[in-house]
Structures are given as structure tokens and as C-alpha cells.
Amino acid sequence: MGNIPHIPDIVIGRLPIYLRALNRMIQEEQEYTSSHELGDRLGISSAQIRKDLSHFGEFGKQGTGYNIKYLYEQIRHILKVDRDWPMAVVGVGDLGHAVAHYRGFKMRGFWVACLFDADPSKIGEQVAGLTVQSMDEMEAEIRHQTIKVAMIAVPAKEAQAVANQLVKAGVRALLNYAPITLAVPPDVRVQYIDPVAHLQHMTYYISP
Amino acid sequence: MGNIPHIPDIVIGRLPIYLRALNRMIQEEQEYTSSHELGDRLGISSAQIRKDLSHFGEFGKQGTGYNIKYLYEQIRHILKVDRDWPMAVVGVGDLGHAVAHYRGFKMRGFWVACLFDADPSKIGEQVAGLTVQSMDEMEAEIRHQTIKVAMIAVPAKEAQAVANQLVKAGVRALLNYAPITLAVPPDVRVQYIDPVAHLQHMTYYISP
């Protein structure tokens, strides 16, 4: 199953959410689920879930619903996370440390392969079993390891320059923790971790 | 302008994104914008932006477009971030440290008011000008400061118990960094920071 064209990006964005819920069900040793159960867990309508999945094929059976492990493996394949993507982490402050130590990457398709920082006092430091490298080494290292995915955890004013360097080295997916919108070529994807946007989304609902 | 009922949650979720783009334009000293310009910046159609904003009133003028500062203030008001929300941060590991030091909260409606950790060796520690408090003090402190918003940065296995305590103390909005789905009462909102979901969303688009 290759990428099927013309699938709305918003649908692709929901697949990781389905994967997370299915993973939880596997851990709970559940074998089958339904679009209704998935929908209830995720606050998404069952019709939406069926419609999303129908873009990629027929995964469920009338009556028995979805085999959880099968659906999980299929979505992993669609998202290309049935392999392990090496990642570069740029910026080894508190956040970079947290990312380097984060155990949630393994089994979900990713691992931290190298760390970079501009601060000379940090270069050579051991973090989560990796040696922090200098920004001068970054491009060659990323090419050498054929790294396509990177996380940017540097201050906002440095983020665009770091992104430019990463893209030049061949990175095609940037997860940006800096509170700034990045300009990248059309063949590069950027996602943002913006905790404040999530907070602002919730305060709407809080009664004064 | 109070909350207008029946606005889809997905629309509310886009308002912080508009706010972020408008804030950027204000910093660039721009005075007016259009749904087309906003849409181009954000990868959202101009029709969608006009439809989203129309739920709340008439903000733009035919010909001149939107007054950026006015629209910015109106959205801040709608999302209730035209005030400062005190926040509790639970878990003062690498991530809690990063959150406590994060400068992106100020001017966007939030500030870190208190820090809690279960580790006795961390209690009493000074982090970003605050003293880390014990979990035993949490409920009373949150009630005392009338805190409605909290960030959970504890290991996955502790996250649900922490959420329960926070909700009991009166918290109504949880930003959860732990890779686990939280069960909360219907009047409590949860948002998740799940970097892996963002990464999985992007690998779909990377050619092998």
C-alpha cells in the first residue's frame, strides 16, 4: 500500500491519534474494537472514523468490527512508522534533555540518533548515552546518518537559522518547539509544539 | 461578548493559531491583513478563516480587511486570555524545568504560579523563582490560589492519580505531557502534548 493521493492532511493528522488509542487497547489485551468505541474514547464521531479509514481500504467487518492488531499494523504502515526513524535533536537545554530522555519514541517509530548545541560548554557532554556535537558538525553528521527528521529545541531567535541548516542537510520533517513560525521549502513539513495554543483552546470553556 | 453556544470545538482550536499569526504581524508592525494573507501564512483556506470568524461577529471590512490589533484583542477576549491565568506545574524533571522557564506564557495569557513534585529531594528547590512544593500541599495551594489550569509533566504511571488530585482541587483545564489518555469528568478539558503524534503525521509525507 503506497501513499494514496488527495487524502486531506487533516485525515492524516488523525491517524496518529487512532494509533495511540489502538496501542492502549493492545496493552489492555483487547482484541476487537468498533468505530463507536474508538470514537467514544477519542471524542470523534464514529462516522468520521469510518470515513477516515475508508480512504485506505476496508479494515473492519460488519458485526465483529476491527481487529485491533491488524488495524494498528496497517496504520503504522500507512504512516511509515513500521520502521525506526533516526532523529536529530538541536538544542540541549532543559527541553532538549527532556526530549533526549523521553521513552515514548521507542515502539512508535523514532529514536534520537544525535544531539547538537551551539554552546561550547555543552559540546562533548554525555546526554542519554549520546555525545553532544557542535553545530559545525551537524550537516555532515545528518548526511552521514541519512537523517530525515529533526526536533528544534533552541531559542526562538536561532530557530530559523537552525531550520535552514537542517533542510540543507536533507531533513524533511521538523518538529519545532520554538515559539516561531518557520519558513521552509514546499517539500519540507513542519509541525509545532505550542503548549500555549493548547492552553488557550481550553480557557474558552472555563466559566469565570 | 460571552461564549456563543454550538461553536464546533475544531473552530475554537483554530483561534489560538490565528492569534499566533496576528501576534507575529503586530510584531512586524503590520496594521491590516486579509483572510487570504492569514490563510497563506497558516495553510488554511481563506473561506475557512472567514467562516470561523463569522461565528463571533463581523471583524473585517470589504476592501480594507481586518484591523490586526482589533481582531487580536477580540480573539483574546473570546478565548478569555485577555487576563492572566495562574498555572500549576506538576512534575519538576527536565520537562517541568523547561516549562517553568518557558518565556512564551507571558503576554499570551498564562503564568506559572506554583510547582509540585513527589520527589522529596526536589521539594524546597528554587526553580524559576518558585519553591517546589510537595504533592501533599498541592490541593490546598491550588484552592488557595484559585488555580483552574495545570500542566502534568510526571511519568505516565503517575499521571492519572495527579489528574484526579488536580480535578478534586478545582482545576478545569489539564495540559498533559505524559503519553497516556486521562479520564476526567465532563466539565474538565484535557489537551495532550504528544510529540510522537506530530512526528508520525509528518513521516507519511517523506519519500522513502
How big is the CA angle at B130 (ends B124 and B194), to the nearest 5 degrees?
Answer: 100
Whole-number pLDDT of residue B130: 97
Q: Helices in A55-177 by DSSP H: which ranges? A: 68-78, 94-101, 135-144, 156-168
Q: How far apart are CA A27 and CA A207, in angstroms?
A: 37
Residue A34 has pLDDT above 70, yes or no: yes
- Residue B120 Cα, gap to closest chain A Cα (Å): 20
Whole-number pLDDT of residue A33: 96
Residue B128 has pLDDT above 80, yes or no: yes
pLDDT tens-place string over residues A1-21? 455 568 888 899 999 999 999
- Residue A187 Cα, gap to closest chain B Cα (Å): 9
CB atoms within 10 A of CB B140: 11
Whole-number pLDDT of residue B1: 47
Q: What pairs with residue B66 in β-bridges?
A: B33, B60
Q: A149-152 and A173-176: which strand pairing?
A: parallel
Is A193 within 8 Å of B196 when comparing Cβ atoms? no
Sheet containing A110-117: which strands, arranged edge to edge?
A: A126-127, A130-134, A110-117, A85-90, A149-152, A173-176, A189-192
Is B20 within 8 Å of A194 when comparing Cβ atoms? yes
Residue A54 has pLDDT above 80, yes or no: yes
- Give chain A's end-to-end CA distance (angstroms, integer): 50
Give the closest of B20, B78, B198 to A191, CB-based. Answer: B198
Please return the burial class of A194, using the count of CB atoms within 10 Å of its CB with bins 0-12, 13-18 and 19+: buried
Is A197 within 8 Å of B20 when comparing Cβ atoms? yes
* Mean pLDDT score, B194-200: 94
Residue A22 has pLDDT above 90, yes or no: yes
Whole-number pLDDT of residue B3: 52
pLDDT tens-place string over residues B31-72? 999 999 999 888 788 999 999 999 998 887 777 899 999 999
* Mean pLDDT score, A84-96: 96
Give the closest of B85, B193, B199 to A173, CB-based. Answer: B199
- The helix (run of H) or strand (run of E) holding residue B108 is none
pLDDT tens-place string over residues A154-191? 998 999 999 999 999 999 999 999 878 899 999 999 99
Sheet containing B32-33: which strands, arranged edge to edge?
A: B32-33, B65-67, B60-61
Cell 486579509 identifies what position? B34
Pairs of CB atoms within 8 A across A/B: 183
What angle do helix axes A68-78 and A9-27 make, rounded to 10 degrees? 140
Is A149 within 8 Å of B99 when comparing Cβ atoms? no
Is B191 within 8 Å of A202 when comparing Cβ atoms? yes
User: How does DSSP classify residue A179?
Assistant: S
Is B206 within 8 Å of A172 when comparing Cβ atoms? yes
Q: Which of B187, B198, B207 should be substituted to probe chain A, the one whose Cβ sees the most A Cβ atoms within 10 Å? A: B198
Whole-number pLDDT of residue A1: 47
What angle do helix axes A9-27 and A35-42 make, rounded to 10 degrees? 100
List CB contacts (< 8 A) between B17 and chain A: 197
By C-alpha distance, the chain B residue nearest A77 is: B204
Is B181 within 8 Å of A78 when comparing Cβ atoms? no
Residue B121 has pLDDT above 90, yes or no: yes
pLDDT tens-place string over residues A99-140? 999 888 988 999 999 999 999 999 999 999 999 999 999 999
Whole-number pLDDT of residue A187: 94
> Which pLDDT band, with edges at 50, 70 and 90, does B136 fall under?
very high
> Which of A13, A47, A121 lies closest to B13, judged by CA?
A13
Cell 534533555 identifies what position? A97
